[in-house]
């Protein structure tokens, strides 16, 4: 019985480490834009920091810099986080594709989609 529990625990830890290892490349600066319902488009810059299963960082928009909080890696490519807009929490869901990232934000029932590309430092 103890062997089975230990084996299951080690397997679970291995899977979680693989998830974290697959998405650690998310760390860095990513740029894109979001198109609003009225047609206006706003540039966005995300600075992601991954530490194990936790994601922090910030989002830079024309309105200023917003800290990322409650960030979590949920699978080998998926993650979630929140930012506050006008003192209201805005949940975000992201997907990591290696060379790009998609982020969908739920801003008061309006789904805002962004595709981001990594900023390459030369």
DSSP string, 49-112: EEETTEEEEEEEETTEEEEEEEEEE-SSSEEEEEEEETTEEEEEEEEE-SSEEEEEEEETTEEE
Number of domains in the chain: 1
3-state secondary structure 79-94: EEEEEEECCEEEEEEE
pLDDT given for residue 16 in this prediction? 47
pLDDT given for residue 120 in this prediction? 86
pLDDT given for residue 63 in this prediction? 84
Kindly report, residue by residue over 93-110, the tens digit of the pLDDT: 999 999 999 999 999 889
pLDDT given for residue 9 in this prediction? 46
Q: What is the CATH number of the domain that holds 42?
A: 2.40.128.120
pLDDT given for residue 60 in this prediction? 96
CA–CA dist 20, 63 (Å, integer): 31
Question: Which residue segment(s) compose the domain that 91 sits in?
Answer: 2-118
**Residue bearing tokens 């600075």:** 47
Kindly report, residue by residue over 5-50, the tens digit of the pLDDT: 444 444 444 444 444 444 669 999 999 999 888 889 999 999 999 9
15: left (phi over 0), alpha (psi -120 to 50) or beta: alpha
Residue 118 three-state SS: strand
């Amino acid at each position: 019985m103890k062997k089975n529990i230990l084996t299951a625990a080690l397997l679970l830890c291995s899977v979680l480490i693989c998830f974290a290892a697959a998405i650690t490349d998310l760390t860095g600066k990513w740029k894109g834009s979001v198109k609003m319902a009225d047609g206006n488009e706003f540039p966005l810059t995300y600075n992601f920091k991954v530490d194990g299963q936790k994601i922090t960082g910030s989002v830079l928009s024309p309105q200023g810099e917003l800290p990322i909080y409650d960030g979590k890696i949920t699978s080998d490519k998926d993650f979630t986080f929140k930012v506050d807009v006008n003192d209201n929490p805005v949940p975000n869901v992201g997907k990591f594709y290696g060379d790009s990232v998609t982020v969908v934000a739920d801003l008061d029932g309006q789904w805002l989609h962004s595709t981001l590309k990594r900023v390459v430092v030369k």
